[in-house]
Amino acid sequence: LTRAPFPGVAVLVYHGVRGDRVPRHAMQGRELHVSAARLAEQCRTIRELCTSISGEDFVAAATGQRPLPPNAVMVTFDDGYASVLRLALPVLERFQIPAVVFVCPDPVARGVRFWFDAVAERCGADAVAAMKTLPYEAWREESRRHEMPATEGDPHRPLTVDELRRLAASPLVEIGAHTMTHPILANAPLDRQRDEIEESQRVLAGWVGTAPRLFAYPNGRPGLDYSRDTVAIVREVLAEGFAV
Q: Give the pLDDT confidence of 8-54 residue by residue, as tens digits.
A: 899 999 999 998 777 666 666 667 889 999 999 999 999 999 999 99
Please report, rounded to a whole number, the percentage of residues in the chain having pLDDT higher than 90.
82
**β pairing state of 33-35 and 173-177:** unpaired
Angle made by CA atoms 63, 79, 28, in degrees to the nearest 5: 140
84-106 per-position pLDDT tens digit? 999 999 999 999 999 999 999 99
220: alpha, beta or left? (left if phi > 0; alpha if psi -120 to 50): left
Compute the radius of gyration of the chain from its Cα atoms: 17
Please report, rounded to a whole number, the percentage of residues in the chain having pLDDT higher than 70.
94
157-192 per-position pLDDT tens digit? 999 999 999 999 999 999 999 999 999 999 999 999
3-state secondary structure 112-175: ECCHHHHHHHHHCHHHHHHHCCCCHHHHHHHHHHCCCECCCCCCCCECCHHHHHHHHCCCCEEE
Say what the pLDDT of residue 19 is: 83
Q: Which residues contact 24 (CB under 8 A, 6 or more apart)?
A: 18, 30, 33, 35
Mean pLDDT of the chain: 92
**In terms of pTM, does the model score above 0.85?**
yes
